Structure 1
């Protein structure tokens, strides 16, 4: 691997403002903002809009889509399968 070609890989805090949740991980992401973590060290912090703590799929608040109803409505509106055009 060539030297000085890749960005620095270091500890970074990602903070989900919507859920009030933050986690420490390693990343190449860069930020001017810093935060003091529970271990007393200061790390760069990156604010994100969504994480697993606030995403509807992971929180169980996801809506199911009624695809069968959409197909039936489309066929009623534009004709069934095999038709040449609107009825």
Structure 2
């Protein structure tokens, strides 16, 4: 990689806005807000709306789509041609 052209890749803490869960990972994202992590270091804090902690797919709260009902509704509306 060329030096001086890539953004700084460093540890960052992401916080789920819905659940408050936090995780430390590496990212190029920046933020003025900071948080002290359990290791005693201070890291940039980025608050996100959805993480695997609150996403319906990962929490098991995902709704099952009734695809057969949608097809029947389409056929009732437009008929079979």
For normalisation by structure 1, the TM-score amounts to 0.89
Is 1:32 the counterpart of 2:42? The answer is no
Secondary structure of 1:75's aligned partner: helix
Question: Which residues of structure 1 form unaligned runs of 5+?
Answer: none
- Number of residue pairs aligned between Structure 1 and Structure 2: 81
Partners of 1:9 and 1:48 lie apart in 2 by 19
**1:11 corresponding residue in structure 2:** 11
Query: Higher relative contact order by CA 8 Å / sep ≥ 6: 1 or 2?
Result: 2
**2:76 corresponding residue in structure 1:** 76
Partners of 2:10 and 2:77 lie apart in 1 by 56
**1:55 corresponding residue in structure 2:** 55
Aligned structure 1 segments of 4 or more residues deviating by more than 6 angstroms: none
Question: Which residues of structure 2 form unaligned runs of 5+?
Answer: none
RMSD: 0.7
Q: Give how far 1:41 is off.
A: 0.7
Alpha-carbon displacement from aligned partner over 1:33-74 (angstroms, at most 9, x marks no partner): 000111111000000000000000000000011111011111
